[in-house]
Amino acid sequence: MGCASDHRGLSLDEAPKYLIRDRDRTYGSLVTRRLRAIGIRDRPIAPASPRQNGFAERLIGSIRRECLDHIIVLGETHLRRILRSYARYYNDFRTHRSLDKDAPVARPVQRTGSIKSFHILGGLHHHYVRV
């Protein structure tokens, strides 16, 4: 049985090597000790530099602009369901200019068949396929 992998070929069954994070007090010594225990190196950004982690800031901005600014969240369970659905859309269907207008999870080009639209997040986004 093979293990799943992301678009860079990394195994999704393995822990990441690093955690880049801000210096929020939420990340106390208990969190950093547990991270080290499972083999993850803690990498806090520089003090007073919230924009230092551009990758996380860009993703958070995308989640806000493309998802949460348009949906009323009714609780933690609802938020988790919304974020799971958005993550699936973001990785499987949404085109990215840096990937030559492909999704992080590559998909085959469909050349024949009629086009069908599938609603994502209640119609906030759509996925078009040929059937």
d(CA 14, CA 10): 8
pTM above 0.75, yes or no: no
Residues 18 and 65 in one domain: no
Element containing residue 31 per DSSP (H, E): helix 29-37
**Could you tell me if 25 and 62 lie in one domain?**
no
* Closest residue by Cα to residue 104 from 93, 118, 115: 93
Same-domain status, 58 and 121: yes
Q: Could you give the dihedral angle defined by the CA atoms of residues 72, 51, 88 and 71, in that order, rounded to the nearest 10 degrees? A: 10
Total domains, the chain:
2
Residues in the chain: 131
Residues 68-78 pLDDT 10s:
999 999 999 99
Closest by CA to 114, choosing from 129, 95, 100, is: 129
Same domain assignment for residues 45 and 65: no
pLDDT digits (tens, 9 = 90+) for 75-128: 999 999 999 999 999 888 888 777 777 888 877 888 889 999 999 988 999 988
Taking alpha carbons only, the member of 48, 41, 2 closest to residue 18 is 41
With beta carbons less than 8 A apart as the criterion, state whether 46 and 52 touch. yes
Q: Considering the domain boundaries, does residue 1 fall inside one?
A: no
**Of 131, 97, 101, 128, whose CA–CA distance to 114 is shortest?**
131
Q: Are 70 and 124 in contact (CB under 8 A)?
A: yes
Same domain, 85 and 121: yes
Are 84 and 46 part of one and the same domain? no
Please report whether residue 3 resides in a domain. no
Could you tell me the residue range of the domain that residue 29 belongs to? 9-50
pLDDT tens-digit map of 18-76 = 888 877 777 788 888 988 898 888 888 887 776 777 777 788 888 999 999 999 999 99
Amino acid, single-letter form, for residue 58 = R
